[in-house]
Structures are given as C-alpha cells and as structure tokens.
Structure 1
C-alpha cells in the first residue's frame, strides 16, 4: 500500500525537470499597458519569476530584484535579453548548497568571486569583531566591517540575501582564509514615493486593486471582490505598525507565501521555533530579537505548535497590547506586526458545533486576553487552494519596489478617514475599535494611498474591517463566558443616521451553530442605553437534507413496483441485485448509491480505475452528494482504495488530481483518505452502518456526456455497458 503524498513526492523527485515556457503574447491587456506607462522600470511581468528560477532556492523578491534590473520593460526583445541575463547571473553567482565545495574551489583558484547567498552576522565577543556566515556557501567566521553591520542591522537577525565579493587570502595562522571584499543587500536603491501617489489617480479603484493582485503574483480574474480583499489583507501588517493578524484555513491556500516571498521586510519562522530570545531579547547577551528589526514577524504552522512557553505567551501578550517588552528591567519598544498562520483540520460548522474558530491554536493561546489583542481574523476557509491558473502572467510592481512603498506607508495613519461619513456604535470597546480602525487604515493605504476615497468605497472597507474584528470577538465570547455580559453591537451608522448591522459570513450561514453557547437575541437586542433597532438573527440557510427534496430522481424500478428506489424515512432500502443495461438513462449516484450512504461516518470505496479526469470527477460527484447529505457540523471519512496507473506519462497527472480532490473534499467536511494498492480487482462500497454494495464494473458506468445537460446531470447520461450493483446488509449493521 502506497501513501498518495509519498507517491507524488517520489515521482517529482525522480522525474525530469519541468521546462517552463513563458506565455508571451503580442497583445497586452489595457491594464498592463497603463501600468507600464505610469511605472516604467518599476514593474515586471509576473510569470518571468518562474522562467528564471530554475534550481535557485531563493525568495521571489530576490529574483524580481534581478528581473527589475534587466527585464523591467514591456519590450519583448528586452524581456528576452533580461531573462537570459538573469539566468546567466544565477548560473554563475548563485550558490547551490550541493555545489558549495565547487564554489569554494572557484574562489580559491580565482582569488575573488561574486556570489549570491543569504548572510547572517554575529558578534564575536572574545575577539570583539563582527563575523559573517554564508548559508549556502557554508563558511563562517568571515570578518565584516562594523559600519556595514550598522547600516544593515537585519544581518544580525534572520539574515539577508546579498550580492557579495569573496576573496581567498590564506595565512599561516589559525584565521579563516575568506575575506568579504564587498557586500550589497538585494534591495532597490531608491523609490519615488510622490510618483507612486500621483500615478494612482490615473487608475480606477478596480484597476488599482487588480494591479496590487498582479503585484503579489495572483491573477485577479480568478478572484471575487471579497477574495481580492482577503488577499490584500495579508499585506496590511506591512503598512500598519503593530498590527496583529490571524489566518486559519485549509492547507494549500497560499497563507505563508506573502510572508516568505513578497517582501524583504518580513521574517517567516516556524511556530515551533518561537522563543523569547529569538523573538524579543536574549538576556544573556542583550541581543535584540526579530521584533526589533523586521516590519513583520509571521509564525508559520502556528496551529500545530503544541509546545508552549507560558513566559513567551505573557511577553507576547504585553507586546501585542502595549508595543513594549522588557530587557531585564528596561522596557523596550518595537513596531513589528505579528501574523499567526495555521491549518485547520475541520470544517467551519464542525468547529462551531464542537469548539470555536480558534480550535486549532495551542491551548495557551486560546486565552481570551491573548486573543483580544488580535485585530483581524482572515477566514482562510474562504480561500481556494492554489491552482496554476490563479497565478498572474500580467504586470505588477517589482516586489522590492512595492515593499519600500509599503514600508513608507507605516508612517501614515488613515484610521479616521471614514469618520466624516460613518460612526461606530458607542458600545464598541477600545480594543474592538482599534482593531477595526487599523484594518480600515491598512486597506486605505493599500487601495487609496493618498487617503482620498468616496463614501461608498470607504463603507466597503469599513464593513469588511468590522467583520474581521467581530469574528475575533465572537469567538472570545465562546471561550470566556464572563465576557458575554456586555456584548458589543458590531456595525456602523451612516451620515443619514441609519444603522447597519455587520455579521460574519459564517454567522449568516450557520446561525444555529454560531450562537449555540449563549442567547444572542436577548443581550444584543437590548443593549442598555442604546437606541439601536432590534437585532434579528438571520434565518438558517441549511435545512436538514432530504434525498428526494434535492432532486426528485427518475424512477428506477428493480422489482417492477411503482415505488422509486429512494425511500422516505419509513421505507426500507432495497436489498438484492439490480441490473443496468447499456444505453439506459435515469441512473445517478443520487438514486442508486446515496440512500445507502446517508448516516454513515466512514465509507470505503474500492475501485482500481480512478485514473482518468472523468473518473476522478465521478468520485468528486459522489463526495459532493455525501457532503450535502450529512449535517453541516458532521464529518465523514471516505477511504478511496485504488491503483496507480502503469503509464509513466500519466502518473503525475493522476496523483495531482487525487490530491486536489482530497483538499477540496476536506473543505466540505469530507475527509478523503486515498490508498494506492496494487492488484485490486473487486469494486465495492462498504459503510460502517451496515451496507455493502458490489459495484460490478465500478463507478465509471456512463458514456461520455454528449451535451451540456448530460454534463450537468448524471440521469441524462447513457450507461455504457451492462453492469450490476448488488446491495447487501453486513453483519455489523447498526439496526
């Protein structure tokens, strides 16, 4: 038996390198032309990063820095020449770890050689000098000038990608032979901020949002307006000082990409590597931690970190509230924003039914006082898993250029821009108000960098900011019942005096689960001293599933009676053999399989032929029906046992389709466990509540659809050959 991920990883490791050919087109979009017109030399076509990356394991902003030097143009010949130049530079100067000895040899033979590597610096207190370490070249103890360190203090914390000239000067003593002759951090020399603000006026708001989306590497055509706002929210920590952001959601949605690839001003660390010394200060040597040097400190896989230092939690809590921490008895301030990223393993209704939306966080961080420091909660479950078509091939700002713009915006404050048109409820606490204002300010800096916007545009951002803070506060009310006595009414009043309630998407979709732990109507509709209208919770969108009510099936009469196969609650399910004839229509998973699966907690599907796209789609159709049939807060485990294709050219596609299907199913409360087993012949479905269905020829029973209606509904497809399904109760049936 083979694990799906292991099979796919092994295939990628042993397979040939993919050759990337940029999608050059003669006709640029109007937006691309406008961007090049107003920001010539500061934009780059985003698909070029993949074209030049090759085997270089470097962040995107390093590659875009080089592309910005040689390929920041809309002239095709210049772009082609620039790509070749960047490839040549990487081939000659980038240090691959597995070639470190070869590069060391090259430096020795030439006497001097230029390299691209990540450099960190430590203070040698015994000999009182700074010494540099080169990550990929794997050399340490190289003396570096104190002035260089002073001018580039991030070398001391986390390291910086640099272009360096290294010399080889052997000596008779114990000193290292390596000499750092020159060091240049990879960053843009200067940015014209006035030009940026002035040029913004030439773009509509929609166009500008799309420019920002393309700048972070995403294709705006693949995202809704709300999806774009969620993506841009990840940039707020770069423009707002001391902004605390949480994003929890399924795997593969690009949560950490923004913080690892898109700015040299952010540090991404594993949640398990967080310590007081690394984050704040090392009291043993007085060395400042990450918050003292970076604009953003992001904690990846934070939800999976179960080892918690309570002292760290307390220091972090104080810093997130007061922007200060102590070095010994001396208080120090810092401006770094904090971002907490984690994966969820359950659906939203499951978390609302059994816990809360902070369910995945370590217990020490599920503390109401710590959570109250969070300014905004990004609903990661609304973000689709990253697909190839979601990446942009349009023009966007060179990442390093954008990073400098964002950094400069940290000196501005747009949090009061809405107040001439809208006002928050008087009962909203100071912490709630701060969270809303900082999110609004950040989005204004990104989308309206001059601070000028229409009331309608401000209203959109304000409502979104309120929702993100409300999501935090409502979960705190679940965790700490003592905070439910004086709940806030989240919303705003417009210039005409009309009140607008703001609710979260999940509150609107699952109201019966969202407020399961407290009486929402009583406190929220009668806040003391309030003139607000009565709050009426939204009606549930999800009703108990009925197979018949979803789509009345065409009658399938295995026993010649007048009763359809799908029974009501009092009709027993059919047992025995059912024959389906070639050319027959009216057969769907909904009317021949789903009734036997409703109520099962675990379902095992065995079919050796889940290989082709339509076969994987068939499984997806079945999983979708299972997801509809279960309760919104329930989870169902489906084990798919199949075989890997023996055609080498198809293996990668098969495995990637199955991985994508697994990730999609998880977001709907179906945990798909895929096993690859050789030598399978039988085809069946077995449930844990007492049914076994022998599938004859398997799930792939139809001819290819011949029209759009047949594509949409299985009942209109023709059975491609005679097949038989056998339904039998198993000894462990729940009855």
Structure 2
C-alpha cells in the first residue's frame, strides 16, 4: 500500500475502504456508490487482504440474494410469499393516504404500491416522504380474504446510512495529516486519483462538496459533457438528491398547496438540478420567483404561510459554446433557459465553478486506493453544517469596501465551506487560507462580471482584499479574463497622402525586457512561443537544463521546443542545442535511443543536437548565447496530461491546461557561463 493508505488506515481504521471494491461488487445493480460502500463498510473496512477478499464475497452474496432488480421483481415476490418473509434492498418512498388514514410505501424496483407502513417509522425517517430512500427491510407476506387489504407487510426497515459518527474524533484524526495529504484523502474518497490533478483542479472537485457542508449555499457549474458534474450529487451522499432541471415544479420543490406537504428543500441538505442548461427548455416563471426569494432569504411562501429551510442549491449543466466565444459574443450564462437567464436570480448564486477547466474523466483519473466510506464522510459533512465559519477570513484579511453584501456572502460562504472541508480541525496558516480566499473571490467575481455584462446597472466592484499583517492589497482576477480578455496590441493606422486611403500596419515587435511570468493552475493559452519565442531569435548556441526528459510526454515537450528553435532561426544558420538532464537504469537506454534519433532528425533543419547526463543537477533553465537566460520553475513540463493522440490538446500547446509555475527571463552578461 501507499504510505498515505497506511496512514489513513492507522488513524481511521474501520471508516475507510478500498475504492476499487465497488466495481467488484456492483455487478449490474443500479445503486448509488454510498449504498455499496455502506455494505462494504460492514465487511471490508480494513487493510487486511484476507478479510477484504472474504468481505467482498459476502457483499456480493448480500446483493445477489437481497438486492431487487426490476427484471427479477416477480421472482423476489414469489420468494417472499413462499418463505413468509424475506430481506430486500430497494428504494422506498412513502405518501399519506388520507382517505384510509395511513401511510403507504412504494417500492421503486419491486413495483409494489400502497403497502401500509408504520407511522412510527415515518417519524423516525421523514425522508421516506420525499423522492425515496434506499433501505434494507424485511418484507412479509400474509394471505388475507379481507376486501381492500394487501398481503404485503413491512416487518422492519432501516435506511442505508451510518447512524453514529464522532465529529471530534474526525477532527483529531485530521490533525495527523498535512494539507496535501488530506486533500488527496478527500480526492480518493471521491474515487479520483489525486496524482492526475493539480492543486487548482483538486479545489474544483472539492468545491462540489461545499453545498453539503454549508446551509443555503447556491452553486452553479456549467461546462462540457463528461466531466462528472452531477456524479457527486447522485452518488456520494444520502443527504443530496439529483433531479432533472426540466422536472422541477413549485409543489415538488417547496410545498404542495393542495395537500400542504413540504417539498424537497424541507428534507434534503442539497437539491441539485441536472441538465439545468438549455435555452429551449420550458420553465415556470412563478417557480423562478419563488426560488429567488428562497435563495436570498432562506424562506418561501405558498398560499398564506411562510416556510424556512436550509437546503443548498446546485445547478449543473452543459455549455453550448467555447469560453472565448461566450466572452466575446454573450456571457458565461448564455446556455441557461430564458426564465433563469435573469440577473436577479443569478445574483443569488454564491459561486460559479468553471466547469470548462475540469478535464473529461479518463480511466487513469480514477483511484484504487483507500478513502473514507462515502456515507461516513456524508454524515461528517452534515454535522459540520451546524458550524458557522463565514467570519474566519477576518482573522487575517479585510475585504474591499466596494464589495456588496451579496458578493461578500458568496465569498465568505465558499471560503468557510472549503475551510470546513480541508481544515475541519481549524488548523491552517495565513497562506493556506489565502489560497482558498483567492479561489473563493474568483468564484463570486465570475458571477458578478457576467451580471455586469448582462445588465449595465450592475456597478463595477473592486474584488480585492487587504492582508492585515502587511497592509498588502491583493486584487483577484478570474482565470478566463487573464486568458482571453487581454488587451489587443495597438494597431498603427496611416493615411496614404495620394489615395487618402486608411492603411493598417501590424504592430511593431515589442522590445525584449526582463520579466517574471506567473502561470496559474488550469490556465490555457500558454505556449513556448508566446512565453519566450522572441528571445530565441539570434541565438546560435542554446543549453537546456532539465532533470526530467525521459517519459514520452517529456520527450514531446523537448521536440516542440526544438521545433520552435527551428522556426525562429534563419534557414542558412546552424544552431547548436545541448541538453543536460538526469536519468536512471529504468529509462536510460530508451532515452539514449530517442536522443540519437533526434540528433539525426534535427540535422536536416540546421539544429546540431547533443546531450549529456548529469545526476547532480536540479535547476531548470534555457541559456542562450544572445544574452538571455530563461529560468523555468518546472522545466519544460508546464502542462497537465492530455487525453493522448486522439485529443486535440496533444497537438495545440495553447489548448492544454497548465500546471502552476513561474518563468523568469533575465538579461545576462555575454561572458557569463551561467
């Protein structure tokens, strides 16, 4: 096992499970992950391989014998009748039959309806009155001749969710992990391989947990298909419910005027709307108005009564266009149905998660390592909802006075939620809070910028804060603005004196200067050419120092740099390029073969390539004999992994997601060997 898995089992023994086991036991059972992990937690919450193997077989047996498949419903009914009673796993929902003065259950897979259920069970498990809860129950059969009665009897019932957790024990356990270790634990709990994600990409995933840990939190995420936007709301917690955005009604969501029944917001911690986007979708304007009031005031009125609730709202959907297209021609809310394309409604959104930054899920992005049993984490997050961390930022920072109350609420609720998720024990540094504050400000600023684009009456807001300790003022910008809304270079305009025609001239080449370039996680639009292409011009000797040039994508990066060198030199000039790198026994022969092939290939374009291995280097740089030195924090490896040869990002550097790093370009003395 990995060191992190060992540590997790040491401090949270019995509360963690290996994440690949769900695939082993699921078979063709259409059930959420939290149901499967609840069962795995009963038999496989250990790192002992023999116990795990036995537990997996036990869980498989439980599912085979007791889970109700819809196509086998008649067989299960027959089993119950012949045995007199039988234990089953099914999704149960309950309604009050006022004409009979009794509660009646509906079985989602078994297909039974109108089965009487004890009022005591309803008092104990009120969520049964909503869209349904997965349960383990004993169903009995007693034949009867009484008219209008049913032979089916619910003898016992228990929802599938952990009943007891100790929050203080959880917080104490957290104190044994570093920030990065704990974030990786949470990623693995969500079924994801943290090694495939940058810090910012991990934050995007963890922000999806904030609605579960914050009361009345409103989150929207729009982006391309296949990024797992709705997965967490349907699979990872019994306290969240995912419904189709097109199926929402006021009666279902808030309260049914004819029956007086409270809707989903009264029973669930999170109500998520799937497939929320779609311009052509029909919506109810009256529902939008009720939602606006609820999202702003935590209350809603139907008829003459006013109700309160704490359910968070999450809206997920697909975008119709690329980000640069939307920024130029419309806005980032462009894909929403017309009735939700309402600035008053959208102003209630606390955070806009940039779904276009989330990579489409590949097989290597899933984990087979250990994580919390998701039902255990779900109960912890529910318990943390009782705590209010929205004023925590005051310890170290002061928000700009121009930030409105709604903007401030969005920022502080996102920050407070992320702090509860990542630092539940309250132990964090000023710098650790600052990186979460920057992200939280950005998520709210993204909402506000689009509102200003939609309605000019929304005033500009200074999304900055002051560090109390130093007095430093920090202004936060959204990543897409940095990428796509940079000012265009000035175009010179001249007038021909004879023809009087206006002629545009291309902007002159900028003067080369020393600079420090900061690249953020998930930033796009970055290439070797736009970073330092102009600095290569005139160089005839280039030394590349990078310890890690051995794996296929690292060799690709090197060849892309050498291609740029070939493009920047004149055809009659030869350029000497020398690579200094490290290697080990596993890769050295393959690397030598690749470098030799490069040497022969590059001769045809006037590049004389050579290389050496030096196992004592650790810095990364490109030194040019025209007087410039480029210091690269990550070396040539500045991008995240692409989807391979069938992914356009493999061929376009500007489309790849970056890793956070710094690049410094310095003017050096010509005779300086370094």
Which of 420, 431, 437 is residue 462 of structure 1 equivalent to? 437
Q: Does 1:429 align with 2:372?
A: no
Which of 149, 158, 165 is residue 138 of structure 2 equivalent to? 165
Q: Does 1:325 align with 2:300?
A: yes
State the distance in 1 between where 2:282 and 2:165 align: 43
Partner of 2:318: 343
Alpha carbons of structure 1 residues 440 and 620: separation in structure 2 relative to 1, 3 Å: closer
Which of 388, 397, 403 is residue 413 of structure 1 equivalent to? 388
State the distance in 1 between where 2:319 and 2:184 align: 29
State the distance in 1 between where 2:473 and 2:53 align: 56
Alpha carbons of structure 1 residues 406 and 361: separation in structure 2 relative to 1, 3 Å: same
State the distance in 1 between where 2:649 and 2:364 align: 25
Alpha carbons of structure 1 residues 176 and 457: separation in structure 2 relative to 1, 3 Å: same
Following superposition of structure 1 onto structure 2, how do residues 362-373 of structure 1 map, counting pairs within 5 Å? 362-373=337-348
Which of 75, 87, 90 is residue 48 of structure 2 equivalent to? 75
Partner of 2:476: 502
Partner of 1:315: 290
Which of 173, 180, 192 is residue 218 of structure 1 equivalent to? 192
- How far residue 52 of structure 1 moved from its aligned partner, in angstroms, is 0.6
Partner of 1:33: 6
- How far residue 127 of structure 1 moved from its aligned partner, in angstroms, is 0.6
State the distance in 2 between where 1:116 and 1:174 align: 27
Q: Deviations over 1:462-493 (max 9, x none)?
A: 1110000000000000001111xx31110211
- How far residue 585 of structure 1 moved from its aligned partner, in angstroms, is 7.3
Task: Tell whether the 8 Å contact from 2:393 to 2:412 is kept in structure 1 after alignment.
Answer: no
Task: Tell whether the 8 Å contact from 1:463 to 1:491 is kept in structure 2 after alignment.
Answer: no
Partner of 1:604: none
State the distance in 2 between where 1:345 and 1:394 align: 36
Task: Tell whether the 8 Å contact from 2:464 to 2:474 is kept in structure 1 after alignment.
Answer: yes
Q: Does 1:100 align with 2:73?
A: yes
- How far residue 451 of structure 1 moved from its aligned partner, in angstroms, is 2.2
Task: Tell whether the 8 Å contact from 2:272 to 2:316 is kept in structure 1 after alignment.
Answer: yes
Partner of 2:119: 146
State the distance in 2 between where 1:440 and 1:269 align: 27
- Give the 3-state SS of the residue equivalent to 1:384 in structure 2: coil
State the distance in 2 between where 1:381 and 1:207 align: 26
Partner of 1:186: 160
State the distance in 2 between where 1:199 and 1:101 align: 47
Task: Tell whether the 8 Å contact from 2:191 to 2:366 is kept in structure 1 after alignment.
Answer: yes
State the distance in 2 between where 1:513 and 1:414 align: 39
| Aligned residue-pair number | 524
- How far residue 185 of structure 1 moved from its aligned partner, in angstroms, is 0.5
Which of 228, 244, 258 is residue 218 of structure 2 equivalent to? 244
Which of 315, 328, 334 is residue 353 of structure 1 equivalent to? 328
State the distance in 1 between where 2:102 and 2:402 align: 56
State the distance in 1 between where 2:649 and 2:237 align: 42
Unaligned segments of structure 1, at least 5 residues: 1-27, 515-537, 556-561, 564-583, 589-615, 633-663, 669-735
State the distance in 2 between where 1:65 and 1:321 align: 36
State the distance in 1 between where 2:645 and 2:308 align: 57
Partner of 2:613: none
State the distance in 2 between where 1:184 and 1:508 align: 52
Task: Tell whether the 8 Å contact from 1:512 to 1:540 is kept in structure 2 after alignment.
Answer: no
Partner of 1:301: 275
Q: Deviations over 1:54-95 (max 9, x none)?
A: 011000000000000000000000100110000000000000
State the distance in 1 between where 2:96 and 2:74 align: 26
Partner of 2:245: 271
- How far residue 297 of structure 1 moved from its aligned partner, in angstroms, is 0.1
State the distance in 2 between where 1:116 and 1:354 align: 51
- How far residue 137 of structure 1 moved from its aligned partner, in angstroms, is 0.4
Which of 253, 256, 260 is residue 230 of structure 2 equivalent to? 256
Unaligned segments of structure 2, at least 5 residues: 489-519, 535-559, 573-599, 605-642, 659-674
Following superposition of structure 1 onto structure 2, how do residues 18-97 of structure 1 map, counting pairs within 5 Å? 28-97=1-70
Partner of 1:134: 107
Partner of 1:679: none
Alpha carbons of structure 1 residues 125 and 421: separation in structure 2 relative to 1, 3 Å: same
Partner of 1:200: 174
Task: Tell whether the 8 Å contact from 1:377 to 1:472 is kept in structure 2 after alignment.
Answer: yes
- How far residue 450 of structure 1 moved from its aligned partner, in angstroms, is 2.3
Following superposition of structure 1 onto structure 2, how do residues 542-557 of structure 1 map, counting pairs within 5 Å? none
- How far residue 353 of structure 1 moved from its aligned partner, in angstroms, is 1.1
Tell me the TM-score normalized by structure 1. 0.68
- Give the 3-state SS of the residue equivalent to 2:462 in structure 1: coil
- Give the 3-state SS of the residue equivalent to 2:394 in structure 1: coil
State the distance in 2 between where 1:296 and 1:617 align: 36
Q: Does 1:374 align with 2:349?
A: yes
State the distance in 2 between where 1:47 and 1:619 align: 27
Which of 212, 229, 240 is residue 203 of structure 2 equivalent to? 229
Q: Deviations over 1:474-519 (max 9, x none)?
A: 0000001111xx31110211021110110000011112489xxxxx
Q: Deviations over 1:382-414 (max 9, x none)?
A: 101011111111111111111110000001011
- How far residue 452 of structure 1 moved from its aligned partner, in angstroms, is 2.7
Alpha carbons of structure 1 residues 552 and 72: separation in structure 2 relative to 1, 3 Å: closer
